[in-house]
Every structure is written in C-alpha cells, then in structure tokens.
Structure 1
C-alpha cells in the first residue's frame, strides 16, 4: 500500500462528478417540504412545531450547521407555525448561515439551556427560553397554545406547561411529513445516490488484499465529501469472519484474498439526503466459493422477492405476511427489519419481520406512491464463517417499485 499512487483508475474517477441540481429544483424541494410540515400541523391542530433534531430542521428550513455536533448539543432550534413565520434560533454568531434561505422569516440567537451550555444555570436559562417560546405562540398562534416538539431536555417541559402551553409529540408529525417525496426531492436523492455509487466504484477499484477495512472505507467518505456530501451515519464495513454476525464496524483488520467484504453505506450526501445501499464482493475480486455463492443467492432472492411485492395501497401487515420466509438456518442472524423508509436519513416506516418480531415491535400502515424504501437482507448461518448483507433503495410508483440505485449486483455469483 505504501508504494501505490492514490488514484489508479483510468476510467475517469479522478475528476469529480458535476452537480446536476438546479436552483429551481432546490427551491421547489424546500417549498414542498415546508408545506408538508404545515399540513401536518393543521391536521393535528397544532399552532407550531419546535424542532431540535438537525435532520428535521434541515427538512423544514434547509438550514444546516454542525449537523452531527448539534444532534447531541441542543445549541440551535427552529419553530414552524402552521399559519405564521418560520423562526430559526442559531448558535453563537452563526446567524449569517441562514440569511439566504427563503423559508426562514426570522433569525434569533439561541438560548442554550442544556447542561453543557448552561451548567448550573439550566433552570434559569430554561425559564428564559420557555418565556420566549410561549410569547411567540401567543403572538402567532391565533389563540392556539398547542405546540409539537420533536425532542427536548426534560427541564423544559414544566417551564412551558406552566406558561399555558400544551405539548404534543412532534416526531410523528415530521416522520409522516418526510415520508412522501416530491419530484424535486427525488432529483436530490438521485444525485446523492450517484455520488454514493461513485464512492462504491472507488472502493471496488481500490480493493486489494493486504489493505485494512478502514483504508477501504475511507474512499466512500472521500467521494462523499468532495462532492458536497455531509457525513456517514455508521461504519458498517466488515470482512471475512467479521461479516457474521453482521453489524461489526470497520476496523484495522487486514483483509485477505478471497474473503467476503460487505458494507452498508448509510451515507448522508449532498443537500442532506441519504443513500443507503449494501453490496458484497470478495477481497481481490476473485471467484467466490460455493458457500459464498449460496449465501449470496439466498440474500439476492430475499431482496428481489420482497421488492416485487411493493406497491401503493399495500398495508405493512400484508407486505410482512407475504415476504420471503427466512430459512431456519439463517433466522437467528436475520436483519433487524424487512424494510424501512429513507429520505434525509433512515425514517418511517420500519417494517418488522412476521411472527415474534411483528408481535414485539411491528405496526401497521400503508405504502404510498413516492415513498422511498430500503429493502434489507442479511444471510448468515449462526456460527458460520461468513455472511452476506444486501440492501436496495427503491421508489414506490403507481405500478410497483423501481430501484433508485443502478450499482450492479454480482450476477456471476448467481450461477
């Protein structure tokens, strides 16, 4: 590895892809998303929603600032009124980051009352924060003091309730809003997937026996960042015995020729959208063993059987009941769900397996046109040497579902 050049591919991977997203597409996507949020507020008779989750803030306003950091530091928030302004509270001296956004009507300085920001003054700062929120509700809510909140430290609850605010769960409203994609959102998703596939191709090109899992995984990050992407939610790349059971994150393990290497991209790319794709190769791209072929064929069959079922109007319960049945030898190491929604991250719905999984955590609903869904498979014998993880990202259309990814499966493994 030390003597290799960084770029070795001759098929054009040196040059970044050209961003195809127009300003009109971006503006239309922003307007659609904000309208979806307001429709949910009206449906649930809420005056407004208060957002702390950076993905929800991004969805409603397209405002982005230190997304990962603010996911665990409550240092910025937004308030969207059903019939009123969109107000953004920004981190210290970051007001300029939202000045170009047409969806944001007013920018204020955030009051950080989480312990990291307020220390022993949490109660004081939370009271100050709550007074500002309640005052805005009285001013813009038309007499409605019902406020949805997606996430909040517990100290703030009695502060708001004491000022006459009725609190509701905001996360369900945002998940339902995010579930149906517009034509413009789909263009943004397709661009993120194109960037992700460039990263996958780079990994396939760079893969050599003797390199570590982390060295290979870094190429996906490289392509994502240089194309304006943002972060990767997990580190799910594993090789050889670390593929069974699945969910082991990338490490400094040196990969050996002929071993299975699998990954799950979980990539938050350009404009904040997610590309969630899993593929499997052999290290060195050598021919798979008979057992590797068997595992791969089985995972491929599960993915494509379940994709063929998807259509608008089908209930989650019906889909689960008709899904491919996992053979007993693979059941213990099954993936955590059959399928899940995807947009700016993994999102509603999460579809449980039939049987005990459904009884413990399943819930019903209906697939709708323009939902984007990931179909999952993990095939690994309990105690076996290796496993196969596959995942395909699809769009539900009026006629069924179509893949959003064009990255090929290993067709020669299916023979």
Structure 2
C-alpha cells in the first residue's frame, strides 16, 4: 500500500478530488461541505477517527468546485494533515453538537456558519452531505441554498479511477488472506465470535481499519439472515455463513460472502441444494451486470431462488462499493416498488453481487457474495476465494 505523501498516494488523492469537483459543478453548486468521514477522505486523502466522526460531527471539509480545499480538523489534530496535497489549509473545527457545546450549541453554530459563508466568497449554492437542523437554519438565514451533498459525492464515487482500482485490488487480496485464516482456524467447538476474530486480526495486521457489521453465524442462526455473530458454539457439520463488510487496506471496503461446512464433512442433501441455489443466483445475476444495462431492467430479469428457498430478507441484487457500500443499490423485483430506482451500469463501477438461499422457517441458509469490476467486456471478478461449500 502506498504511504501518505508518496507519488501513488498523491495520484490517488488527486484523481478522486478531480471527480468530486466535476460532480459539484454538475450539480450547479459552488462548493461542497462534507462531514461524512468517507466523503472527507475521498476529497482530501486524510483520515482521522472515522468511527468517532461518523457519530459526532467533529471534522469536516469545504471543497469548492474551483478553489482551495479547507479541512477543518478535530482540535489538536491539525498536524495529522501535514503534507497532503489536496488540502490547502487546515483550520480547527467548530463543533456544535450537544456533547461539546451544551447550552452554547446555537452560539457555536452561528460562529460556524459565519466562517463557512465567508469561505464561499459570495457563492450561494452549497452541497452538504450531513447537517443538523440548527446548521441548516443558520446557513439558510444567511442566504445559502443547501443541496443534497450525499448525492453529489455518490455520483463522483460511482466510477473508480485507475489509482483507486489499484488499491481496491490490494484491499481484496488482503481481505482474502483473512478469509483463508478464518477457514484454517474453523473447527467445531469454537464460538462464532472466536472464528470472527480471525478476520478482525488479519484486517488490522494488513493495514485495514474496521468491520462495519458482525455477520457471521452458524447452524440455525444462519436463517433468517442478518443475525450477528454470538457466543454460540459451532457444531460439527453445521453451515457457517459470513459477510466480510470490512474497511480494509487504504480505507477501501471489501464485501464478500462465503458459506462453509464447519468441519469439512460431506454436506447433507438439503445443505447442498441450498448452496447450489445460491450459487446459481450469484452466477446468473453477475452476467446481467453489463455496461448500458438499466437498474430496473436488471431488477426485472434478476434470478431469485425458487419458492420455498427464496427469502425476502435480502433485497439486493447488487450494490456499489468503494470506501464503503455506496451507490447504486439494485434490488430484486419484489422490492422495486418500495425501494427501486433506475440508472445505468457503467464501465469503472465496482459492484458486489449478492445471493441468499434461505427457506422461510428453515433450519439453515447459504449466503454468497462476489465483488466485481465492470469492464467494457462485462463483469470481472475481483474476489478469488474459492466459491465452494467444502473448499
């Protein structure tokens, strides 16, 4: 992985900022004010306390469509951004969430708004990805029109630059070392949490950062899907299913799912059928992800397991991924009316294809997921861990 300040890191940061500036201009905005730690990283190449900052608006960046980027850093941490070429100026953040400002929240929000408006230099259209009502009122009271900054950032992030793809490939490779470590450690008698810890360890040791979910379950806890790992002891011959959902090397997310037999024994007929149904769903839906295909057409044509095996708990056919799960989300036809939207598959997208075979009321489920790059010739698999019930 390239280190901060290296030529590769500078190229990565520059390529992302160029895409973001273009998206800000396309949205008709003068600048973007970014609080989401993922968006701040995308724009500036800097990272600090991302999990804490995702809950507490303690650092942010102002990114003009044309002009210098100003990073507002958590007080006392200004030195962390030294040498980042995307950041022209670092200022201490003005925090006005209740924990730090208490009864002075409105006072601090006014100070914050005056500074932001001054930096806009007469601009009136500001894309903001996250903002409490107090802040919105303070900006609008000063003549600023607030736009949806998350949509702006998502449109920029949907296509990966060449510099990004190099890091994505390294992140996937490191994650799959963790998957291999989990498989080597798996044995009946250990708890789900003990097995899951192997992926955490491998991710941190490789330079990764954190896991967004705790999706590893065994036996009856695999169905329904979305239960989190627990102190349950893994039994012999049980299915063990997981979803990596990690923020890995370079801050890039890897989202891969596999389902195994806990002791490598021969699967039962029911277990094999579930795995085959999920694998068919994965393969057939991956083939739909070709440049120019519309999201709604994919939703209409997407394969779902047959009645008795299909579960409504997993709506996704595929979703985008970069520094985290991101635009687009393509849902299957059961969920289009409630959550579907249209768009188009484009070269340079990185997508995760989901599959789940989970009989309603059944004893076990199989979860599979692959990460692919959309090329001019179609989807290219990025994940290479064996796709097998008994690897």
What TM-score, normalized by structure 2, do the two folds share? 0.97
CA distance in 2, matches of 1:21, 1:127: 38
Partner of 2:78: 95
Q: 1:48 aligns with which of 1, 22, 31?
A: 31
Which region of structure 1 is more displaced relative to structure 2, 341-350 or 285-294? 285-294
Partner of 1:315: 294
Q: 1:246 aligns with which of 220, 225, 228?
A: 225
Q: CA deviation at 1:334?
A: 4.6
Task: For residue 89 of structure 1, give the secondary structure of its aligned residue in structure 2.
Answer: strand
Q: 2:167 aligns with which of 176, 183, 188?
A: 188
CA distance in 1, matches of 2:38, 2:309: 35
CA distance in 2, matches of 1:336, 1:236: 16
Conserved 8 A contact 1:311-1:400: yes
Conserved 8 A contact 2:277-2:305: no
In the alignment, is residue 399 of structure 1 matched against residue 388 of structure 2?
no
Q: CA deviation at 1:118?
A: 0.5
Partner of 2:251: 272
Q: 2:261 aligns with which of 265, 268, 282?
A: 282
Task: For residue 375 of structure 1, give the secondary structure of its aligned residue in structure 2.
Answer: strand
Q: Which consecutive unaligned segments of at least 5 residues does structure 1 have?
A: 1-18
User: In the TM superposition, what whole-angstrom CA distance separates every residue of 1:51-78 from its partner, at most 9, and x where no partner exists?
Assistant: 0000000111111000001100111111
In the alignment, is residue 222 of structure 1 matched against residue 188 of structure 2?
no
Q: CA deviation at 1:145?
A: 1.2
Q: 1:169 aligns with which of 148, 163, 185?
A: 148
Q: CA deviation at 1:411?
A: 6.8
Conserved 8 A contact 1:20-1:191: no
CA distance in 2, matches of 1:395, 1:24: 24
Partner of 1:76: 59
Partner of 1:369: 347
CA distance in 1, matches of 2:340, 2:378: 23
CA distance in 1, matches of 2:345, 2:306: 26
Conserved 8 A contact 2:2-2:9: no
Partner of 1:379: 357
User: In the TM superposition, what whole-angstrom CA distance separates every residue of 1:27-69 from its partner, at most 9, and x where no partner exists?
Assistant: 2111110001100111112110000000000111111000001
CA distance in 2, matches of 1:84, 1:412: 55
**1:152-163, aligned counterparts within 5 Å?**
152-163=131-142
Q: CA deviation at 1:153?
A: 1.1
**1:199-210, aligned counterparts within 5 Å?**
199-210=178-189
Q: CA deviation at 1:116?
A: 1.1
Partner of 1:6: none
Q: CA deviation at 1:20?
A: 7.2
CA distance in 1, matches of 2:281, 2:310: 13
Q: 1:262 aligns with which of 241, 244, 250?
A: 241
CA distance in 1, matches of 2:270, 2:25: 55
User: In the TM superposition, what whole-angstrom CA distance separates every residue of 1:158-195 from its partner, at most 9, and x where no partner exists?
Assistant: 11111111111100000010000011101101111111
CA distance in 1, matches of 2:9, 2:93: 27
CA distance in 1, matches of 2:377, 2:33: 37
Conserved 8 A contact 1:145-1:166: yes
CA distance in 1, matches of 2:186, 2:310: 31
Q: 1:248 to 1:412 in 2, by over 3 A?
A: closer
Q: CA deviation at 1:330?
A: 2.7
What TM-score, normalized by structure 1, do the two folds share? 0.92
User: What is the number of equivalent residue pairs in this alignment?
Assistant: 390
User: In the TM superposition, what whole-angstrom CA distance separates every residue of 1:369-406 from its partner, at most 9, and x where no partner exists?
Assistant: 01000000111101111000000000000011010011
